[in-house]
Chains A and B, each alone.
Chain A
């Protein structure tokens, strides 16, 4: 039925076009337009081109001014503030060039539209002019490259020694985050160790794994450098945190990294924007399949003291997965972990804390 409607509509549109076309041809013949070299349409088109330029430039300005509040979300990383500045300086140069060249383009086509009896100016080249407009863009580009390069080098240089390190792993279709725990050392990982419980493939035989914790949000301290260690376990993903001007692909088999320094806490942003529900977000920007558009993760920026408190309060992953760990680890690594609690024993969590504390003392 639908197909029928569509075909009827198509036929009708074609018939109308055909009629318009025929009528126009007759008018042209009556007017004798078809015998002249250039008809009235030439004037109309020249006028329309100029009008197009004026109207669209006005529209561009009219829309851009109020829309600018939705532009680049507020930058809250040190490098982000600088790249934004660079972006806007570059954009200013580009918009000047854009409007400038278009003024020439559209005013020339209007001014030099065909006039009977006039002859165009034979002007095949002008070396001076050509050198000038080769050199000027070259200089502008050189300046832009220089500043871009300086900024890029600063962003991609190795992270400072004191950076807080967070590991983030992309998978279809979620992010998984790991902190190194009290010892500030990550345990190793191997993709062959991944299963439904050990989603990040942590090496449980590695003593450093023991205190690693896997929270459900990223917490980072304001004003301190943070290094994201990025990896993926199935296909390529890309970590994009728009407010931090942060983006880096997560590639299976090729760990990547990105470091930055947050400059505003989540709380400060909430107050500034008057939006109590505001959160910094991470999205995926490398197409990764069905759920690509829904890989949301939240980053909470806190004052350093709050962050320390949060960090200290996190429970190591090993604590809540003890049974699983003991079924997986080598004999000699079993000593790293407390023996599994008896299945029937009363309050599990309490027992857990006690045993972990015991294990800690043992290690020391």
Chain B
């Protein structure tokens, strides 16, 4: 046993000792255990998803029934309902908060925070994260950031209302919209804290993956989940600071009268003194995070899906190296396509040409990933667990939503479609729903390891089918509305001649949204009920290869009671010809599977002997 290993082991024993002495608050609240922190992120994410999704129902009601009387919402919304009508500024605040909450709190913190924390140490064979303390700080920064955002929902002038992209000058001037007063200040403070949280988390994920892999866990033996979390953390580390700078400069403009983003403004009967700033500069900075952010939420979901699709097809993931390669390519390209959000922002059209070219390149690695998933299913022996169904749903969304990105990435075609419902449909399917399905798939799949019990399959199936059909019913029709030219973030479509069609479709969308939202309570019930009363899980209920399934049913502090397992093979030896069973876990040496080894693997047995006996 290496020195590092024995050290870790001793350390772990200490912890085991501490475990009983730890006061409740250190164990469950300010815990430094990655599994507890993951659950904290998960539960926070679920709560935020309910809030964020609930807000969307309010504005969907307004869109479907603009003439309805909303007096009945008065007990909840109070002054935001005037004479039975939703206040237009509050409508914008709802849209803004829905976007912010879903993108950052649910799909960034809820997804990466949960699964990077939970799976990285378990799948690479580590006792915990590189720094448990930073990890704990990361969660609590997120928590405080969430509390501040939540408070902003209840203040008199309302939360931020300039869209989740908070473009100045709208977001900088309280005269322009009431949400740009205190609401926007709280938004900026909350986001600043959120960025700190993301960076602390990301640093930890990267360090842990690089430094704490168990013996034999080379980079090319890492499960694709870990690759996805690792790449996601790098993207986050490089792009979130740019949002931080944008937020900081916006704070300066708002508070100290600087002119980074503001210029030549006359508002509320007054010419303001700002000169020489550029609103377009803010957009560049914002999207420099904003676009990588799409992949920050999507890549972990794709990683989770890779794992679940392989396990439940009982087949190796097709093109493991191509999957890594395409994730690296997507990560790289994600930094140089941001301005496709800005084709008609007034930036130089030559930039538009460059960004169109770069944007369409990103379709290639994305297509490779989709093809690889489909080929993994080919000639599999597929078991439809709820996790598998959600993963298949994700692949379907990834294709449907990804394809429409090809039209939007074409700057000439984007002129008409920019800021219409076509865009809303596109990113809700490919980024929102796909990532959300990845998150749900992950919860169903790793629930047994998180809580030692199984979630109920039947309720899972019901949840999947309502959600899958519901999501398509909500977002597919938006393409039609978008092609007809309906602009997004409109309080009502009654004012224009060209927006008089498709009112029936708007209502269908709203009804589908309500049903889909309601179906999430099936999940919530299943989740909460199963934590306490679910069927007891076994150590490896899905017959999976990765290391987390070698831990006890409920892994304690330090994850493995004995030594950390050594890794001898990649994570995808499913249905290997000649093998007794249809899976061979990563910790099984080739010397024990002589019947199924390929020639080059037999050669590795020599090296293996070295690993096992220590050099």
A associates with B: yes
Q: Is B349 an interface residue (CB 8 A)?
A: yes
Across the interface, do A252 and B383 meet the contact criterion of CB distance under 8 Å? no
Q: Is A121 an interface residue (CB 8 A)?
A: yes
Which of the 9-residue segments B8-16, B148-156, B233-241, B353-361 touches chain A?
B353-361
Across the interface, do A17 and B271 meet the contact criterion of CB distance under 8 Å? no
In the complex, which residues of chain B have a beta carbon less than 8 angstroms from the beta carbon of A145?
A: 356-357, 360, 410
Across the interface, do B416 and A133 meet the contact criterion of CB distance under 8 Å? no
Q: Mark B340-356, 1 if CB is under 8 A from A, else 0.
A: 00001110010011001
In the complex, which residues of chain A have a beta carbon less than 8 angstroms from the beta carbon of B267?
A: 172, 233-235
Q: Is A238 an interface residue (CB 8 A)?
A: yes
Which of the 9-residue segments B38-46, B49-57, B373-381 touches chain A?
B373-381
Q: Is A348 an interface residue (CB 8 A)?
A: no
Across the interface, do B496 and A123 meet the contact criterion of CB distance under 8 Å? no
Residue of A nearest to B373 (CB): A105
Which residues A138-162 have CB closer than 8 A to chain B?
138, 141, 144-145, 148-149, 151-153, 155-156
User: Which among A38, A97, A277, A286 has the greatest number of chain B C-beta atoms within 10 A?
Assistant: A286
With both chains docked as a complex, state the minimum distance between the C-beta of A243 and any C-beta of chain B, in angstroms: 7
Interface residues on B, range: 35 or more
Q: Is A240 an interface residue (CB 8 A)?
A: yes
Provided the pairs A133-B367, A285-B418 are in contact, do residues A236 and B461 lie with their beta carbons within 8 angstroms?
no
Q: Is B591 an interface residue (CB 8 A)?
A: no
Cα separation A287 to B266 with both chains bound (whole Å): 18
In the complex, which residues of chain A have a beta carbon less than 8 angstroms from the beta carbon of B322?
A: 125, 130
User: Which among B263, B269, B313, B384 has the greatest number of chain A C-beta atoms within 10 A?
Assistant: B384
Cα separation A113 to B403 with both chains bound (whole Å): 27
Cα separation A124 to B170 with both chains bound (whole Å): 52
Across the interface, do A83 and B265 meet the contact criterion of CB distance under 8 Å? no
Q: In the complex, which of the residues A24, A45, A104, A123 contacts B384, with contact meaning CB atoms closer than 8 Å?
A: A45
Which residues B222-274 have CB closer than 8 A to chain A?
262-267, 269, 271
Q: In the complex, which of the residues A20, A41, A141, A243 contacts B364, with contact meaning CB atoms closer than 8 Å?
A: A141
In the complex, which residues of chain B have a beta carbon less than 8 angstroms from the beta carbon of A289?
A: 89, 92, 161, 170, 176-177
Cα separation A283 to B498 with both chains bound (whole Å): 10
In the complex, which residues of chain A have a beta carbon less than 8 angstroms from the beta carbon of B582?
A: 119-120
Q: Is A81 an interface residue (CB 8 A)?
A: no
Across the interface, do B170 and A233 meet the contact criterion of CB distance under 8 Å? no
With both chains docked as a complex, state the minimum distance between the C-beta of B571 and any C-beta of chain A, in angstroms: 12
Across the interface, do B399 and A105 meet the contact criterion of CB distance under 8 Å? yes
Q: Is A276 an interface residue (CB 8 A)?
A: no
Q: Is A357 an interface residue (CB 8 A)?
A: no
Q: Is B389 an interface residue (CB 8 A)?
A: yes
With both chains docked as a complex, state the minimum distance between the C-beta of B418 and any C-beta of chain A, in angstroms: 6
Across the interface, do A21 and B412 meet the contact criterion of CB distance under 8 Å? no
Chain B residues at the A interface, C-beta cutoff of 8 Å: 72, 75, 88-89, 92, 161-163, 167, 169-170, 173, 176-177, 262-267, 269, 271, 275-280, 313-322, 344-346, 349, 352-353, 356-357, 360-361, 363-364, 367-368, 370-375, 377-384, 389, 392, 395-396, 399-400, 403-404, 406-407, 410-413, 415-416, 418-420, 456-459, 461, 465, 468-469, 472, 476, 480, 483-485, 487-493, 495-498, 501-502, 521-522, 525-526, 529, 535, 572, 574-577, 582
Chain A residues at the B interface, C-beta cutoff of 8 Å: 2-3, 13-14, 17-18, 20-21, 24-25, 34, 37-38, 41-42, 44-46, 48-49, 52, 56, 60, 63-64, 67, 70-73, 79-80, 83, 86-87, 90-91, 94, 97-98, 101-102, 104-105, 108-109, 112-115, 118-126, 129-130, 133-134, 137-138, 141, 144-145, 148-149, 151-153, 155-156, 172, 191-192, 194-196, 201, 233-236, 238, 240, 242-243, 245-249, 251-254, 256, 277-279, 281, 283-294, 296
Sample of 6 more A-B contacts, CB < 8 Å, known A108-B378, A118-B381, A137-B367: A72-B485, A119-B381, A192-B271, A252-B265, A253-B262, A293-B492
Q: Sorted from nearest, which 6 A-B pairs have the closest CB atoms? A: A253-B263, A156-B349, A121-B379, A151-B412, A120-B575, A45-B384
